[in-house]
Amino acid sequence: MTKVANEVKALAIEGGSKAVPMLGPFPTKLGKEELWELIDMWDFSPAKKEKIREILDGETNLQGPHLFRYYNPKPSRVATAEDAMRELIGTKYCLAVNSCTSALIASYRALGIGMGDEVIVPAYTFFASAAGVAASNAIPVIVEVDDSLTLDPEAAERAITRRTKAIVVVHMRGAAGQMDVLVDLAKRKGLPLVEDVAQAGGGSFRGKRLGGIGSVGCFSFDHYKVMSSGEGGFVTTNDEWLYTRAQSWHDTAACWRPDRFARERREGELFAGENYRMSELQGAVALAQIRKTDAMLAGYRRARDLIVAGIDKFPGLSFRRLTDPAGDTAICLIMFLPSPEVTRRAIEALHAEGVPAGGVYDSKVRDWHIYAYWEHVLETKSVAADGLPWTAVPRPELPKYSREMCPRTLDLLGRSVHIEINHHYSDEDCHSIARGINKVLHCLLK
């Protein structure tokens, strides 16, 4: 008999002593080194950094967080951010994801959109709204925007075919699409209305938050958005089935339903998905940002009102139509001038005055927000030899894509001057911006 066998008296399962009495406790995966990397990202003074370093060095057993939202021993920040977002937007369900592109694709897939289907998207939006359609193997149908710079409801209605499976309204540059007309159109046609709220987080239409009006809302929390966690996104909806399917798509169909390992409760609940999960780091930052949203919006709106009040009237000057001025996030002010030539000169002159002005469309400058540059779609590019999504329908039945297909959109965008608004602007900042605009427009539009 071996030594080990001699020592064994009784199996633990039969009341004997345990061979391994206890393992650990071990340090957590994340410790002070990881926390230091985070602290180092903030601009503390060197003296304060030194103090923090000393505190960290003095820690001998600092337990780091569990950065995965599921199976988390502590309340998940991602789940708390979902709760906060649900409350802010006023929907029954909310799902955190790692980007708005992911939110869009998860929503498209949850709506059952797939091969050979068509989805109506506006000609002015970041490419992701259309790319997500093609990545779902469906066909984006590009439609004009109107003077609100959001989807033109009449053009959208004309673009509906027997293949149409959804309409996407994009609340561009902080302001709502024509939600009353679009909700009515979607209802009449029995189509879901997807709200791309990437650029208008916190905005509203007639008292209802964007992302809580259509069938589903898709939010971006990338760096350039109203609320940001560097990268991140949310899906909001009142539809439990859509939420369940989006949740499955966002996590390889790991099926976080009430019971993760249960069999399908209903046809369409189980399928293979992808991984769009948000990490606890993003969740923590997103949570803080969601809580600040209304204060930030108040700052943007105050600044916008001061700037607008200070701008004189000029022949040939008009403003982007706001479908609900009170609900505009006011992250920017968009003015239309009489021609692209005057617009170009105005932007140069405004720049020289120090006004934070930019153009929206210049035929010589490539920009993924303008359909005319979406060669991926216009030239029906595909990632694989199967030619999808374009080969799913007979070629003559594909939309007639061309750079000129939405002339009204190009005309409006080519005459747009975009004034950036910061919610930290002082009164004097706003007055000087208005003064700069008046100075330039007096010369150019007299």
Smallest gap from residue 440 Cβ to ligand PLP (A): 28
Give 369's DSSP letter: T
Q: How far apart are CA 291 and CA 266, in angstroms?
A: 37
Establish if 140 lies at the interface with ligand PLP (CB under 6 A). no
Smallest gap from residue 233 Cβ to ligand PLP (A): 5
- What number of chain residues touch ligand PLP (CB under 6 A)? 14
**Which one, of 199, 204, 216, lies nearest residue 180 by Cα?**
204
By C-beta, is 125 or 248 nearer to ligand PLP?
125
Establish if 233 lies at the interface with ligand PLP (CB under 6 A). yes
Residue partners of 99: CB distance under 8 A and separation at least 6: 220, 222, 231, 232, 233, 276
Dihedral, CA atoms, 341, 408, 308, 172, nearest 10 degrees?
-120
Residue among 118, 144, 222, 251 that touches ligand PLP (CB under 6 A) = 222
- x/- mask, ligand PLP, residues 167-196, rule CB under 6 A, reads ---x-------------------------x
Question: Pick the catalytic residue: 208, 225, 292, 381?
Answer: 225
Residue 174: helix, strand or coil by DSSP? helix
Name the residue type at position 81. A
Provide the phi-psi class of 301: left if phi over 0, else alpha when psi is between -120 and 50, else beta. alpha
Establish if 82 lies at the interface with ligand PLP (CB under 6 A). no
Establish if 97 lies at the interface with ligand PLP (CB under 6 A). no
Strand arrangement, sheet containing 93-97? 93-97, 233-237, 216-220, 193-196, 164-170, 118-122, 139-143
Torsion over CA: 322, 325, 330, 332 (sign)? positive
Smallest gap from residue 23 Cβ to ligand PLP (A): 42
Smallest gap from residue 151 Cβ to ligand PLP (A): 12
Establish if 126 lies at the interface with ligand PLP (CB under 6 A). yes
Establish if 214 lies at the interface with ligand PLP (CB under 6 A). no
Q: How far apart are CA 288 and CA 281, in angstroms?
A: 11
Tokens of 357: 């002005």
Establish if 136 lies at the interface with ligand PLP (CB under 6 A). no
By C-beta, is 151 or 317 nearer to ligand PLP?
151
225 is catalytic: yes
Tokens 């799902």 sit on residue: 95
Site residues (vs ligand PLP, CB under 6 A): 99-101, 125-126, 128-129, 170, 196, 198-199, 220, 222, 233
Residues marked active site are found at 225
